[in-house]
């Protein structure tokens, strides 16, 4: 029998506006066109979300060649290299672009800063699909990627007069700040993007987890191992003094974690659906356990649906009129 007396649910947690938009884009595309709909890369990095959409007729692919010519294809929330858009046009697929608008912002910054003669340094995880898309915006620019302070020391870019850093949207705020400080120390002339690239949802969820970690002994982060922002939440909780685990769902819980623990905090990555959080709460909240919302910052951001879906709806409405 565990000793938990209280569960604190971090707010904000779970789906961000970009994820909600992307998932709904796949659902709406299936509703309009019927199955199958092909999704290039996992629409978001959560195994439960991907599996649920698969049951409805969404087929995840990694290469556009896996989709027949003329098929309906949704590009994932993480963004895609420019070459993939060219390939989609060549294969005459019906493309629905569900890239998060905040990721698109970084793609546009790459174009603008290169046009203005800047050398760009990209702060991000090497090989992450979001970074691949950003760096693929202008591949000939060969933009260097740094993950750590040590990576800054290893940069071989000379000392360009016009220099800017851009970042992956799902990074650890604290770790990224250390990398930025190292860049500023080595390159005093380096400038930041006009608005911070780490997205509001990543920032808000990390801020909430920092506060949660201060008042709980154990923090559970609901999310898949492939989710960068979920992993950063777990690391943030640990950095602020709590024992923390990343759990894909209720089946990942270990009873030993709760021995001697009175207060448990729960949050969820930006791609984790709320029902997974509630499953865990129900599992832990035996009689007498108090469940409270731990509200750090209200979140009201919403994004409009992809432009392609707006156009399709307009066509359908026009034909029905």
Question: Per the domain annotation, does 160 fall within a domain?
Answer: yes
Q: Which residue has the higher pLDDT, 316 or 64?
A: 64
Cis, bond preceding 236 (omega within 30 deg of 0)? no
Same domain membership, residue 236 and residue 174:
no
Position 287 confidence tier, pLDDT thresholds 50, 70, 90: confident
Tokens 């690391």 correspond to 235
Question: Per the domain annotation, does 262 fall within a domain?
Answer: yes
Question: Per the domain annotation, does 300 fall within a domain?
Answer: no
Question: Per the domain annotation, does 28 fall within a domain?
Answer: yes
CA angle 78, 84, 90 (to 5 degrees): 145
- Among 100, 127, 148, the domain boundary falls at 100
Same domain membership, residue 288 and residue 209:
yes
Question: Per the domain annotation, does 270 fall within a domain?
Answer: yes
Same domain membership, residue 216 and residue 171:
no
- Contact between 197 and 166 under an 8 Å Cβ cutoff? The reply is yes
Same domain membership, residue 110 and residue 94:
no
Same domain membership, residue 208 and residue 156:
no
**Distant-in-sequence, close-in-space partners of 31: CB < 8 Å, separation ≥ 6:** none
Q: CATH code at 75? A: 3.40.50.11270
- For residue 117, the enclosing domain spans 102-186
Which residues are annotated as catalytic?
130
pLDDT of residue 75: 98
Position 195 confidence tier, pLDDT thresholds 50, 70, 90: confident
Residue 192 token pair: 């930041």
Question: Per the domain annotation, does 221 fall within a domain?
Answer: yes
Residue range 202-240, pLDDT digits in tens: 999 999 999 999 999 999 999 999 999 999 999 999 999
**Distant-in-sequence, close-in-space partners of 308: CB < 8 Å, separation ≥ 6:** 95, 96, 97
Q: Is the dihedral of CA 20, 23, 27, 32 positive or negative?
A: positive
Question: Per the domain annotation, does 218 fall within a domain?
Answer: yes
Same domain membership, residue 280 and residue 210:
yes
Tokens 């850093």 correspond to 165
User: How far is residue 166's CA from residue 176's CA, in Å, rounded to a whole number?
Assistant: 11
What is the SS3 assignment for the chain? CCCCCEEEEEECCCCCHHHHHHHHHHHHHHHHHCCCEEEECCCCCCHHHHHHHHHHCEEEECCHHHCCCCCEEEECCCCCCHHHHHHHHHCCCEEEECCCHHHHHHHHHHHHHHHCCCEEEEECCCCCHHHHHHHCCCHHHCCCEECCHHHHHCCCCCCCCCEEEEECCCCCHHHHHHHHHHHHHHCCCCECCCCCCCCHHHHHHHHHHHHHHHHCCEEEEECCCCCHHHHHHHHHHHHCCCEEEEECCHHHCCHHHHCCCCEEEEEECCCCCHHHHHHHHHHHCCCCCEEEEEECCCCCCCCCCCHHHHHHHHHHHHHHC
pLDDT of residue 1: 55
Q: What is the mean pLDDT of residues 154-183?
A: 96
Q: Is the dihedral of CA 301, 19, 203, 179 positive or negative?
A: negative
Residue range 243-259, pLDDT digits in tens: 999 999 999 999 999 99
Same domain membership, residue 227 and residue 281:
yes
Position 316 confidence tier, pLDDT thresholds 50, 70, 90: confident
- CB-side neighbour CA atoms (13 Å) of 271: 28
- Among 69, 100, 131, the domain boundary falls at 100
Residue 195: burial class (beta carbons within 10 Å; 0-12, 13-18, 19+): exposed
- Contact between 123 and 179 under an 8 Å Cβ cutoff? The reply is yes
Q: What is the mean pLDDT of residues 171-187?
A: 96
Q: CATH code at 134? A: 3.40.1010.20
Same domain membership, residue 207 and residue 122:
no
pLDDT of residue 317: 83
Same domain membership, residue 172 and residue 156:
yes
- Among 186, 211, 236, the domain boundary falls at 186
Domains in the chain, number? 3
Q: Which of 269, 267, 174, 169 is nearest to 226 (CA)?
A: 269
* Least confident segment among 14-18, 89-93, 194-198, 261-265: 194-198
pLDDT of residue 321: 61
Tokens 């960068």 correspond to 228
Residue range 32-78, pLDDT digits in tens: 999 999 999 999 999 999 999 999 999 999 999 999 999 999 999 99
Same domain membership, residue 285 and residue 230:
yes
Same domain membership, residue 91 and residue 110:
no
Residue range 68-121, pLDDT digits in tens: 999 999 999 999 999 999 999 999 999 999 999 999 999 999 999 999 999 999
Question: Per the domain annotation, does 50 fall within a domain?
Answer: yes
pLDDT over threshold 90, residue 271: yes
Same domain membership, residue 32 and residue 10:
no
Q: What is the mean pLDDT of residues 154-162?
A: 97
pLDDT of residue 2: 73
């Amino acid at each position: 029998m565990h000793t938990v007396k209280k569960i604190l649910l971090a707010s904000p947690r779970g789906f961000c506006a970009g994820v909600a938009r992307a998932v709904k884009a796949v659902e709406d595309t299936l509703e309009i066109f019927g199955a199958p709909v092909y999704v290039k890369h996992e629409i978001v990095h959560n195994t439960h979300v991907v599996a649920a959409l698969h049951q409805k007729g969404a087929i995840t692919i990694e290469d556009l060649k896996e989709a027949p010519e003329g098929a309906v294809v949704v590009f994932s929330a993480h963004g895609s290299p420019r070459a993939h858009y060219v390939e989609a046009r060549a294969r005459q697929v019906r493309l629905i672009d569900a890239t998060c608008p905040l990721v698109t912002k970084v793609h546009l910054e790459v174009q603008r800063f290169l046009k203005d003669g800047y050398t760009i340094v990209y702060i991000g995880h090497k090989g992450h699909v979001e970074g691949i898309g950003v760096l693929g915006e202008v591949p000939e620019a060969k933009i260097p990627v740094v993950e750590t302070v040590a990576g800054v020391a290893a940069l071989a870019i000379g000392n360009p007069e016009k220099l800017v850093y851009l970042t992956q949207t799902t990074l650890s705020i604290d770790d990224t700040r250390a990398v930025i400080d190292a860049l500023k120390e080595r390159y005093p002339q380096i400038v930041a993007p006009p608005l911070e690239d780490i997205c509001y949802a990543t920032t808000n969820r990390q801020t909430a987890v920092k506060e949660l970690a201060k008042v709980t002994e154990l923090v559970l982060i609901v999310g898949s191992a492939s989710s960068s922002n979920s992993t950063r939440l777990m690391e943030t909780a640990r950095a602020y003094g709590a024992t923390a685990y990343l759990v894909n769902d209720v089946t990942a819980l270990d009873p030993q974690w709760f021995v001697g623990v009175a207060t448990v905090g729960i949050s969820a990555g930006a791609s984790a659906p709320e029902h997974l959080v509630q499953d865990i709460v129900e599992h832990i909240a035996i009689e007498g356990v108090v469940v409270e919302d731990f509200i750090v910052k209200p979140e009201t951001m919403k994004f409009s649906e992809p432009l392609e879906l707006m156009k399709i709806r307009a066509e359908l409405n026009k034909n029905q009129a």
